[in-house]
Chain A
C-alpha cells in the first residue's frame, strides 16, 4: 500500500530536549516536505526536499532541522524544542510539486506538545 508513515503519532516532551520525528514514504517520490498545522494559520511549510541531499527552507524553518540522506526518509529534528513548537506536524511526499505528478500524499500527522 502506498503511504507516508510518520512516527510517533503523539509526543509530549519538555523544553530543550532534542527530538526527532521520522517520516518514510514507499512510493519512490523525489519531493518531500514538512508542514505544521495550527488553528487559524492553516498549513505552513517548514522545510522541503526535492531530492536526496537537497533541502530548502519553507516559510517557518526557525527551530527545525531536516536531513535527506535516503530518498524514502525525511526526518524532522527539533534540537531544542520550545512551547511555541507545540503543533500538529505533517510530512508529505509527491513525485513533483505540480500537476500532473503533483498530488501530495500526507502522513497521518504527529501531535507534538512541548511543556
Chain B
C-alpha cells in the first residue's frame, strides 16, 4: 500500500516555465511534508518542507502548496531552469518519530 502517491512520474518543462509536481496521502496522522531533490549520482537533499498549519510556503523559486482537506500537497518551481533538472521526491511523516514515507519520485527535465 503506497502511502504517498506522487505524479507525474516524469515532467519536461521549457526554461522559464512553471514545474508542478503533485502528491496525495491517505494517512491523516501525517503532519510533516518535506520535498527532496536528487541530482544524478548524488543522494537526495532536503529542498523545502511544510507543516499542515499553513497552506503555502515559499523559498525563492520553490513553493509548496498544501490542501489539508483534499490531503494533497504540491511543489511549484517558478521560472524553471536547466539546473533544476533532477528527481524530486515528496515525503511525509507523523508524530512519534516515525520514518519518512517517500513518494516514487518525479524526474524533471528543464529544456532550453
Contact = CB atoms under 8 A, between A and B. Distances in A.
A49 B72 CA distance: 29
B93 A90 contact: no
Contact of A99 (B41, B51, B102): B51
A52 B50 CA distance: 29
Interface string B95-112: 101111011110000000
B50 to A, nearest CB: 9
Interface residues of A, number: 27
Q: How large, as a class, is the contact surface on chain B?
A: 20 to 34
Interface stretch (A38-46, A62-70, A71-79): A38-46
A43 B46 contact: no
Interface of A: 4, 31, 33, 35, 40-45, 48, 50, 58, 90, 92, 96-99, 102-109
Interface of B: 6, 9, 31-32, 34, 36, 41-46, 49, 51, 89, 93-95, 97-100, 102-105
22 contacts: A31-B97, A33-B99, A35-B102, A41-B104, A42-B89, A42-B103, A50-B97, A90-B44, A92-B43, A97-B97, A98-B94, A98-B97, A99-B32, A99-B49, A102-B49, A102-B100, A103-B49, A104-B46, A106-B44, A108-B42, A108-B43, A109-B41
